Amino acid sequence: MKIAFIGGGNMATAMIGGLVQQGFSAQAVYVVEPAADKRAQLQAEFGVQTVTLEDALPETDVVVLAVKPQQLAEVARARATELAGRLVISIAAGIRMADLDRWLGGAARLVRVMPNTPALVRAGISGAWLGPKASEADRAMADRILQSTGQVVWVAEEGQIDAVTAISGSGPAYVFYFMESLTQAGEQLGLDATTARQLAYATFDGAIKLALGSTDDAATLRAKVTSKGGTTAAALNRMAELGVQAAIQAGAVAAQARAVELADELGQG
């Protein structure tokens, strides 16, 4: 399998690094990237082949569209003839498959993907939707590529990609927000910044490892560390009074709504 990436940004770099780390041949990976310094970096770090925007797209089995969403319409139209008949994976946020299909002239097999930033450390999770023109063999190829940066879930309908965006796409920021708040709380309680950060970060790391290694759901795990009348109960009761859980859920709903709005805006191109 040969793969071309159009765009050599952070997410493309993460995917390329994951593929190479898994033993995929760097010589079978091509990157279309306008910035000379970025091309040089990718060549030096991974040994992949790079081309400029003016060059013809190499013959490959798969093309990953990894440009900014605002640039995708222009890129897709310019490459439509070259992409005809190929498996095209779009990781551009907020671009509906129908719009991409229109820009490409309807001749490509499409997969729409919502990755997230932990892909940069091979700990990401991607939500993916298989287009109606793509086959189960295409799904297997896309799955192999996406697993280079972490886990993959395939959604039953394209609209669910907006929910994926709200939970895992934007989700790392929610976690960082909680970590930031917990660190600040430690400082307010008299800890120095380094100690507060170490305690907060290690707590998240340990809690996630505990949860992933347990058959219990999050609610059960929470109950197991909450003694009646204890310190944890006092904290959780106060958070409930302040509506923390409701605020998190409302935030995810707002993220989903914004994803729909962006798709409407970007799809007008």
Q: Tens digits of per-residue pLDDT, 231-246?
A: 999 999 999 999 999 9
Mean per-residue pLDDT, 86-111: 95
Helix (H, G, I), strand (E, B), or coil: what is residue 135? coil
What is the structure's pLDDT at 169? 96
Q: Which residues pair with 4 in a beta bridge?
A: 30, 63
List % helix, strand, coil for the chain (3-state, nearest 5): 60, 15, 30
Contact by Cβ (8 Å): 31, 49: yes
Helices 244-266, 69-83: axis angle to 10 degrees equals 50
Strands (E) located in 156-220: none
Alpha-carbon span 56 to 70, nearest angstrom: 22
Residue bearing tokens 């039953």: 156
- Other beta carbons less than 10 A from residue 73's beta carbon: 19
Using pLDDT thresholds of 50, 70 and 90, give the confidence band for residue 176: very high
Alpha-carbon span 237 to 223, nearest angstrom: 12
Contacts for 166 with CB less than 8 Å, ≥ 6 apart? 252, 253, 255, 256, 259
pLDDT in tens, 119-166: 999 999 999 999 999 999 999 999 999 999 999 999 999 999 999 999
What is the structure's pLDDT at 2? 94
Using pLDDT thresholds of 50, 70 and 90, give the confidence band for residue 53: confident
